[in-house]
Amino acid sequence: MIRDNYGRTISYLRLSITDRCNLNCFYCRPCKVTSFIPHNNILTYEDMYHLLETAAKMDVQKVRLTGGEPFARRDILYFLSRIKSGIPGMDLRLTTNATLIAGKIKALKDVGIEALNISLDTLDRDKYQKITGRDFLKNVLTSIERCLEHGIRVKINVVALKGVNDDELENFVGLALSKPVDVRFIEFMPIGQKTLWRKQHFWPGDAIVSAAEKVTRLEPLSHEGKNHGPARIYALPEGAGRLGIISPLSNHFCETCNRLRITADGRLRTCLFSDRDYRLLPLIRSSKISPERLKTVLERAGLNKPMGNELAARDRGPEKSLCQRVMSSIGG
């Protein structure tokens, strides 16, 4: 079991399987020229499986595969199938932009994937193209429908951007009212060396809740078990879905954080807001390093997991990044 100096137990791992993505969202990749991790430095599926096997033995019960875009990596269905068959107790989830999954949805269900988190920041076609650089909104909406038809639960992740998509709140709430989906608004975070975060674009969680309450009734729900995510969830008594708020800046959840992050090049980050990381790739690939040594490194790294809100408050100007690495490189 991985436990830190604050008494928090780690049961949830976010694993980036690639830093590649077929979209170019301005808040995720603020640089015009993007440099990717060299191929030899990317975790192989064998590397990742070995890591997950070790994590499972340390009571990590939930793993979320992220990117970049996970489905931009070849043979991902093979990897999902191997995890499901080889580590059957692992609660396996994925976050995707849903632009590349149309022909894989039935296969995902057959493999045993029960839920997907789908990134979608607008329901307007022109705005989608401006945010992502691609005209793929129809693909995403079609994939959401097909997921629901195949019994795959859908959580829609919306980066809350004041002056960009705050005028669409009623439409997003309407989506949650009409379909059995979770629509979750995530506060825009100043992540990455050349972050485009500006105070005028910050749309705090409480303001989103207040606006949503003018559209429909909200009923707060308690967290769902020890492997819960960071969202505050609200039932919609008048609708089929739910509303969620993830507020790492205005109403942080650091005291209950149960997560570690692994980047696509095998670096362990104990906190999204901290640039301190631990190189796991050499440990995973070396035949001279035992699994026990890898477990020891995970335990020691976890022990030093910081309080992210303290990092966020320390020596940071209003438009200064919380960390240097961009979100697509960290892994969502």
Region 233-239: what's the mean pLDDT?
A: 97
Q: What is the pLDDT of residue 313?
A: 61
Q: What is the pLDDT of residue 275?
A: 85
Region 60-69: what's the mean pLDDT?
A: 95
Top-confidence residue, 209 or 329: 209
Q: What is the pLDDT of residue 319?
A: 57
pLDDT digits (tens, 9 = 90+) for 116-137: 999 999 999 999 999 999 999 9
Top-confidence residue, 154 or 306: 154
Q: What is the pLDDT of residue 198?
A: 76
Total domain count, the chain: 1
Q: What is the pLDDT of residue 200?
A: 82
3-state secondary structure at position 310? helix
- Per-residue pLDDT band at 39 (split at 50, 70, 90): confident
66 DSSP β-pair partners = 16
Region 312-324: what's the mean pLDDT?
A: 58
State yes or no: pLDDT of 315 exceeds 90: no
**What are 86's two structure tokens?**
């080889």
State yes or no: pLDDT of 28 exceeds 90: no
Q: Which domain holds residue 131?
A: 2-330
Mean pLDDT, the chain, whole residue set: 90
Region 18-33: what's the mean pLDDT?
A: 78
Model confidence, pTM: 0.92
Region 94-123: what's the mean pLDDT?
A: 97
* Cα–Cα separations (whole angstroms), residue 280 to 37, 41, 68, 79: 15, 11, 19, 20
Q: What is the pLDDT of residue 281?
A: 94
155 DSSP β-pair partners = 117, 182
Top-confidence residue, 272 or 330: 272
* Of residues 10, 14, 118, the one with CA closest to residue 65: 14
Domain harbouring 319, CATH code: 3.20.20.70
d(CA 118, CA 100): 11
Q: Range with the lowest mean pLDDT among 156-170, 278-292, 310-324?
A: 310-324
**Cβ distance 14 to 262 under 8 Å?**
yes
